[in-house]
Chain A
């Protein structure tokens, strides 16, 4: 199966600069830590392009696309800079604010209306990251072939969840 199933031409949907922006947003949501890469480093922008192109409705795609425009503007109006040029702390602060707005928007919106664009980005970032090879094998515990089931193993805080 491939993205040729899509009704939209992927090339037209998200441009290279959008992918770079999404990588940067993804890296801010899930940054690199001591043991594992960040979402941007795993190419989350490219995955978002495939996923939004193939799995999203037209309506949600529109929200997603407009959201990128809005996010760019927010960066400029608040910091006078493009998002990519913000400091790490600025990126973090801006997205934290937008994330709060997104949650408020989602809890007040009409049930059938699409969610906030940032929730879409965040959701695909989390999903795409933890199902990527670096995310599943380094940020989580991935055992391809467990071999058996044990229903009572000790757990201590800090132990990672199982991948899948």
Chain B
């Protein structure tokens, strides 16, 4: 087999949230680009089998049969794993991994990856997030600051479509916003009461990747307005939310520069010690197991955080016996995630003459207010909170008849208003939270299984306790009653915000990647998915991964032009 047809300008490993962005940037700039995806192909619209089904068309009305739950104890915990979305999730037995400590690894192996299934939250990280580790003395300093990423946030937001209100907050910088989802009448009341009770706490409209009012660039992608169905994880027939499948990948394909290779498991990145750089990627066909090498000048690793760690750890050579770029032995270490354990429920009186229409696919936000300007609590960092108010729907508890016509009528009407909150807490990086290759166990493609050893610590417990106290206080000030807290005690992983292991930093002794996401010791390999994260922050992270990817891809193009790669 000739090397020519296997040679490209750029190879992108992974076709999800960030792989799609790398592909788009490269293809637009004329680079012949190969995107390698381990899962099956998914085409926008064509491969959304449940997208327009009504609830009664599902045999179990969107509940999961017991057999599926028993066969999938991990993925069944995911809120989005339902009868209408089964087809987009990895089933537990298909891709085993080793849990040294409980870790719910939620995966989606297909073209588009988890971008089909994500929660669509798109908040920027603030300057406090990038300055935090150095200021408060944990982890290592980020090699960049907010200003470095700001133009790339804008670049990504304009293309994917992000809605939100311009709130002018330092703690959650504004972006390029489409009109926001409005707060409902109860949320507006809570907003005004919280914001008049606290000088430093804000409750704002959701910021999320929905086309509330598409612009020309979105129409050019073939996407349309979000119809407020809130059935996103089925794949959207309108392209109303951003996914790689509806947006970046077809955009890249239109240039004629994109080659997609789905059903291809990446074995390793090939390193040439004479050239002192990577030359390509070794791929195992997912079906016939045939091994093929592909070559390119630049390689982007976007396999999702933990799998990018796995691929680098498995990319061994005489030069890198412990994995590509792993001179300091820190590859796979300092895994971070976000603390999603806490929630509150409460009642609020009144507003019985008010309701809402449409299904808003997002909650309101309370940006972090803890340890913002200085360290002031007995735990490090803070948390963002999501808050929403809704009326109880059909089937709620009613007074009076419990059987019959009156009962039917009463439970057919909306009930009282309920107010809920959930946490997104920062988790501090530490060396003990790590992934590594299992020494013995291999999967059916001969790849070592990944051992995951990640846990909460005392800081997470204190932060959660503070979230409960402060949130209960805010709900009380907002007029809520019967406030209850709940610690789900869920394992790390179920937040689906795992990050790190290949962290960026200034110093090759303590980090794997430089400020352009290049592997310090192998500069034509860029790692731009969540594995690059130096600290977790409190914002939903995908937007930041995409901004890093676009920034790094354009840097790679510049460097290629200069002959530096």
Residues of A within 8 A of B (CB): 1-3, 5-7, 28-31, 33, 38, 47, 50-51, 54-57, 92, 95-96, 99-100, 126-128, 130-133, 136, 139-140, 143-164
A138 to chain B, nearest CB (A): 10
B contacts with A: majority SS? loop
| Inter-subunit contact B395/A127 (CB<8 Å) | yes
Q: Which 5 A-B pairs have the closest CB atoms?
A: A151-B184, A149-B358, A146-B358, A155-B355, A54-B65
The 8 Å CB contact of A161, one of B61, B64, B405, B413, is B413
| Nearest-CB residue, chain B, relative to A92 | B404
A30 CA to B227 CA in the complex, in Å? 32
| Nearest-CB residue, chain A, relative to B231 | A164
Q: Please name all residues of chain B whose beta carbon is closer than 8 Å to the beta carbon of A126 when the two chains form the complex.
A: 394-395, 411
A123 to chain B, nearest CB (A): 9
A111 CA to B209 CA in the complex, in Å? 42
| Inter-subunit contact A159/B405 (CB<8 Å) | no
| Inter-subunit contact A33/B409 (CB<8 Å) | yes
A5-B65, A6-B67, A145-B227 known; A151-B182 Cβ under 8 A: yes
The 8 Å CB contact of A132, one of B56, B225, B391, B404, is B56
5 A–B pairs (Cβ distance < 8 Å), ordered by A: A5-B65, A55-B66, A145-B227, A148-B358, A153-B357
Known pairs A54-B65, A152-B185, A155-B355; list 8 more (Cβ under 8 Å): A3-B65, A50-B60, A54-B60, A146-B228, A151-B188, A151-B356, A153-B354, A163-B394
Q: Please name all residues of chain B whose beta carbon is closer than 8 Å to the beta carbon of A157 when the two chains form the complex.
A: 413
Q: Please name all residues of chain B whose beta carbon is closer than 8 Å to the beta carbon of A95 when the two chains form the complex.
A: 403
Q: Please name all residues of chain B whose beta carbon is closer than 8 Å to the beta carbon of A143 when the two chains form the complex.
A: 357-358
A13 to chain B, nearest CB (A): 13
| Inter-subunit contact B358/A29 (CB<8 Å) | no
* B: number of interface residues (CB 8 Å): 51
A148 CA to B394 CA in the complex, in Å? 21
| Inter-subunit contact B54/A144 (CB<8 Å) | yes
A147 CA to B181 CA in the complex, in Å? 12
| Inter-subunit contact B414/A155 (CB<8 Å) | yes
Residues of B within 8 A of A (CB): 54-56, 59-68, 83, 86, 181-185, 187-188, 225, 227-229, 352-360, 391, 393-395, 401-405, 407-409, 411-414
A3 CA to B66 CA in the complex, in Å? 11
| Inter-subunit contact B359/A149 (CB<8 Å) | yes
A159 to chain B, nearest CB (A): 7
A29 CA to B395 CA in the complex, in Å? 12
B544 to chain A, nearest CB (A): 27
A5 CA to B72 CA in the complex, in Å? 13
